[in-house]
A and B are shown apart, each in its own frame.
Chain A
Amino acid sequence: GAVVSQHPSRVICKSGTSVKIECRSLDFQATTMFWYRQFPKQSLMLMATSNEGSKATYEQGVEKDKFLINHASLTLSTLTVTSAHPEDSSFYICSARGDRVEFSGNTIYFGEGSWLTVV
């Protein structure tokens, strides 16, 4: 299957600072990438959809000024958590949709996830 890589896998930052998480599609181009957040023992919650070269679309209740998303190329999207607070501590997961010739090959693949701890 297609490979999506996230970096860093774990990060600890101080309250008030910003932290950036990268998401790369390693062996395919992805015009669309998705960012999720997952709290312990809960399901994945979609935060936003990013499209290469355009502004991200945020889900209801997600602060776009706090969670900055940039999708500058067909293989890279970044999520920046600005002015981080302890309640932002969570598992952040990105995914990418492969652009395939076959319509049914519209599968979404996920990264390994990034643990963010804000102290």
Chain B
Amino acid sequence: DAKTTQPPSMDCAEGRAANLPCNHSTISGNEYVYWYRQIHSQGPQYIIHGLKNNETNEMASLIITEDRKSSTLILPHATLRDTAVYYCIVRVEVLGATNKLIFGTGTLLAVQP
């Protein structure tokens, strides 16, 4: 699986948008970009994923560059409960294959009051 690079930590003011970057310059054509977050002492929570188009759901938006070498997760109105480690993962999706998730070090997002 391709590796990702994320900043180790970021701060964001409560109520403002949080923009979390991720570099995945060696991503291949059949790899999706997945975002998970882990609040302290809990299992990771699925946020969003995409292949090449921008995606939006009730939690966040995912912006993927045209060359697919980087992406940004946007939390439109961060709250204190969004404080967590955010993981950007690229994952092969091949029908019938294992398609496992390999975690990097992630970004610790601290939402400040």
- How many residues of A sit at the interface, in one of the four size bands? 20 to 34
Distance between A42 CB and nearest chain B CB, rounded to angstroms: 8
CA distance A97 to B34 in the complex (A): 14
- Majority SS at the chain B contact face: loop
Question: Are B105 and A112 within 8 A (Cβ)?
Answer: no
Chain A, 94-119, contact with B by CB distance < 8 Å: what is the 0/1 string?
Answer: 01010000011011111111010000
* Residues of the A chain whose Cβ atoms lie less than 8 Å from the Cβ of B43: 4, 6, 93, 95, 110-113
Q: Contact partner of A108 among B95, B101, B104, B105, CB < 8 A?
A: B101
Interface of A (DSSP majority class) = strand
Q: Which residues of B contact A111 (CB under 8 A)?
A: 43
Q: List the interface of chain B (C-beta within 8 A of A).
A: 36, 38, 41-46, 49, 51, 87, 93, 95, 98-106
